[in-house]
Structure 1
Amino acid sequence: MSAAAHTVLYFVNQLEFFLSHRLPLARAAQNAGYRVHVAGPRSPAVARLEAEGFVFHEIPMTRSGVHPVQELATFWRIYRLLGRLQPAILHNVALKAVFYGSLGARLARTHAVVNALTGLGFVFIARHGRARLLRTLIMAGLRLAFRQRRHRLIMQNHDDPRLFIDAKVVPPEEVVVIRGSGVDLAEFCPAPEPPGEIRAVLVSRMLWDKGVGDFVEAARELKRRSVPVQCLLIGDHDPGNRASVPVDQLTQWHREGVVQWLGHSSEIADVFAQAHIVCLPSYREGLPKVLIEAAACGRAIVTSDVPGCREIVQHGLTGLVVPVRDGRALAEAIERLAREDELRRSMAHRGRALAEQEFSVEKVLAETLAVYRGLL
């Protein structure tokens, strides 16, 4: 069965995330001959999707809520859509879409299912008892949902698959590691470091589990030591996420002068061009796109020793890896790179080479389309 005249349906919980992380894949599928459909909650991004020639289907879905009526409605809508559309491939992205899409596909007898878990999120990071209970329930639900005739689970690093294989959620032969969403090496390219004071930036949604609090702690420590480094937070708060840092807190830090919170930027390559060091002290990731982009832009990285982050940064070669939830260690790493210009620049050069070798968008697209072909 070839791609020609076959439909691939992407089921997502956020259209904006789909556009920022999956648009090149959808375009590549379209160019390969697939009819591309996208299902998810309606948002202003629909206009851009339709301008690309994709067909949009509205499926209401909350990102983190568990209201029984709403959840049942989401499942019913995707099941009905699958029965009507009969796509050759259903590609689910993120945990809720993976769960409801896979269950719906079982009942609708969808030809093939690709599930993409880009990161394991709050439930797998949190340490309290409720999170442990939810993890158990989620694993049991996924074990049922993943029983498909033609199924592949795409994960972005080599740590996460072991959790699912050991829990017998999915057999090893159905797991494929594709490292991230890829980076456009022409758009994200090296630029000379800017003159003046060293700038360390954290670019992400303003979430506690991205290590925002640890970055602020590190900034305080650097200020206490009189290390001449500007620490900048780039990104918006995320009110739909339970780990979101409140706007009042971000504003307070900014007013104190401990960090500068500059909000959202759509020009990330320009942000990196004006920085010297890129930080992401996250608690867990799939494969953070921002670090791939930072490496491609030739910037030294400081990140935490957790799944996903350590997949990108080779300690001492392309950046520095520090213990998770350790603001003091983060400060020491930033200070080292701020003071050692040659080390920082050599790491930046090697980071670009790694991005070219391992993380180009062309490589990721080819690997994903190969998964599709193998399931047809």
Structure 2
Amino acid sequence: MSRRLLILVNDAGFFLSHRLPLARAAVAAGWEVAVATRPDERSPEIAAAGLAFHPVPIRRFGLKPAGELRTALAVAALCRRLRPDLLHCVTLKAAVPGLLAARLAGVPAAVLAITGSGRTYSDGGLVWRLLQRAIPRYLSLLAGPRTRLLVQNPEDGRALAPRGALAERTVLIRGSGVDLAAFAATPEPPEPMTVLLASRLIAKKGIAVYVEAARRARSERPDLRFLLAGAPDPGNPDAVPEATLRGWHEAGTVEWLGRRDDMARLMADCHVVCLPSQYGEGVPKCLIEGAAAGRALVATDVAGCREVCRDGETGLLVPPGDAGALAAAFLKLAAEPDLRRRLGARARAVAEAEFDVASVNRRTLELYDSLLD
């Protein structure tokens, strides 16, 4: 009899871009896989991928007690009906209600996959500081012997499980992996140097800093190109307004491409992949894809980014929020193409050694097995 896996995630698009390969690997390994998330315009793609889809009332943003309890009760009811052997909660937003649901429904095992601490651990407001103290205690209190905290970088492990039993049940697997065949290393395209930022278009990703850095760099090197890929996200309170994106594009500072699904082609057509995030990431998918494509990386020195963008080895790290330092990094790589290519070659080697999606999926399935043996 096959084992049953329920994946809880707060956004269908994130599941499709980051965890669909894991779900397919689980099916190939004999698991019955179902996915629970909020219904939206992309959720039908889950069923189209051959997976059972179950709508639940989970919000994309924010952590509010009443809302989390409502989600937990709905997920617990779903668990009682589906009787999963393991509940895999993807993102902190899913882990908070999901862990309570697992306990209420008697799910034998749970994996709490943290894909970056994000705003919760970067905002200095009073409410966020309270959450930073409360969440580790909450997770530790509810975690059972077959609960595992799955983190993508050591900083998240220390923040969410600083001590106690859950600290001993923390597992590190860096990122969601990259398809090394799809993102094959190719020679750089002809000059001029082209930089790509592909990301959710929210302020905390450093979008405005990137645009300002592009403006400064182009004031010295007008031939440089700066691409910005991503769709507007009006439902996100941190979203960059579409009018602002269009203004940047029309001014010629950056080329806004909108949503793109051909990331491998985009990276093959650029020289540098950038993510100037201003908060803690897990391990950003755009950076590991850039590394797999053999491109030099430029990123901010924050949790997650430095797991793959290693200063002087695979790319250049700059302080978060520093447009001047970011522009200087771009100009350095434009002036030193041999350095840029060396960084890109090493980035590919690191991707092959540490971020292969097949390896990430295998290790995750081994974690599942260890909890149910």
TM score, norm. by length of structure 1: 0.94
Query: Is 1:375 aligned to 2:368, yes or no?
Result: no
Segment of structure 1 superposing worse, 239-248 or 100-109: 239-248
1:115 to 112, 116, 121: 112
- Give 2:322's aligned residue: 326
Partners of 2:123 and 2:217 in 1: how far apart? Answer: 28
Structure 2 counterpart of 1:49, which letter? I
The answer (yes or no) to whether the contact 1:122–1:243 under 8 Å persists in 2 is no
**Structure 1 pair 170–208 and aligned structure 2 pair: CA distance change class (3 A):** farther
Provide closer, same or farther for how the CA distance between residues 367 and 66 of structure 1 changes in structure 2, counting only shifts above 3 A: closer
Say which SS state the counterpart of residue 114 (structure 1) adopts.
strand
1:331-367 Cα deviation digits (max 9, x unpaired)? 0011000111111111111111111111101110111
**Identity percentage of aligned residues:** 45
CA contact (8 A) 2:189 2:268 kept: yes
Instruction: In structure 2, list runs of 5 or more residues that go unmatched.
Output: none
Distance in 1, matches of 2:339 and 2:193, equals: 14
Change (3 A) 1:134 1:164: closer
Matched residue, 1:20? 17
Aligned to 1:357: 353
1:161 alignment counterpart = 157
Q: Indicate which of 239, 242, 245 corresponds to 1:250.
A: 245
The one of 185, 196, 202 aligned to 1:201 = 196
Cα distance, 1:165 vs structure 2:
2.7
Equivalence for 1:346: 342
Q: CA RMSD in A?
A: 1.7
Q: Distance in 2 between matches of 1:231 and 1:170?
A: 47
Q: Is this contact kept in 1: 2:34–2:53, CA < 8 A?
A: yes
Q: CA deviation at 1:169?
A: 6.9
Q: What's the CA shift string for 1:310-345, capped at 9, x where partnerless?
A: 110221121111111111001001100011111111
SS at match of 2:87: strand
| Conserved? CA contact 2:136–2:159, under 8 Å | no
- Tell me the residue number matched to 2:95: 98
Whichever residue aligns with residue 90 of structure 2, its letter is V
Q: Is the Cα contact below 8 Å between 2:68 and 2:96 reproduced in 1?
A: no
1:290 aligns with 2:293: no
Identify the range of structure 1 (112-121 vs 63-72) with the bigger mean alpha-carbon deviation. Answer: 63-72
Partner-residue secondary structure (3-state), 1:194 = coil
Q: Is the 8 A contact 2:140 2:166 kept in 1?
A: no
The answer to whether the 8 A contact 1:142-1:169 is kept is no
Q: Secondary structure at the match of 1:301?
A: strand
Q: How far does residue 103 in structure 1 lie from its aligned partner after superposition? A: 0.3
- The Cα shift of 1:227 comes to 5.0
Alignment of 1:1-376 (within 5 A): 4-65=1-62, 70-145=67-142, 147-166=143-162, 168=163, 171-226=166-221, 228-283=223-278, 284-376=280-372
In the alignment, is the contact (CA less than 8 A) between 1:227 and 1:335 conserved in 2?
no
In structure 2, distance between residues paired with 1:154 and 1:296:
23
Change in 2 beyond 3 A, CA 1:66/1:115? closer
Separation of aligned partners in 2, 1:40 and 1:373? 24
Q: TM-score, normalised by structure 2?
A: 0.95
Contact kept, 8 Å, 1:139 with 1:169, in 2: the verdict is: no
Counterparts of 1:277 and 1:247, CA distance in 2: 25
Per-residue CA shift, 1:219-247, capped at 9, x if unaligned?
12112324531111111122232221111
Q: After TM superposition, give the deviation of residue 372 of structure 1 in Å.
A: 0.3
- Unaligned residue ranges in structure 1 (runs of 5+): none
Deviation of 1:170 (Å): 5.3
Is the deviation greater in 33-42 or in 59-68? 59-68
- Would the aligned equivalents of 2:149 and 2:166 in 1 still touch at CA under 8 Å? no
Aligned partner of residue 83 in structure 1, secondary structure: helix
Counterpart contact for 2:69–2:97, Cα < 8 Å: no
1-structure distance, mates of 2:18, 2:76: 25
**Cα distance in 2 for residues equivalent to 1:169 and 1:124:** 20
1:138 Cα deviation after fit? 3.1
SS of residue matched to 1:231 = strand
| AA partner of residue 29 (structure 2) | A
Change in CA separation of 1:12 and 1:261 when aligned onto 2, cut-off 3 Å? same
Match of 2:176, SS state, is coil
Read off the aligned partner of 1:187 and give its amino acid letter. Answer: A
In the alignment, the residues of structure 2 paired with residue 148 and residue 221 of structure 1 have an alpha-carbon distance, to the nearest angstrom, of 52
Contact 2:5 2:32 in 1 (8 A): yes
Q: Match for 2:287: what amino acid?
A: L
SS at match of 2:161: helix
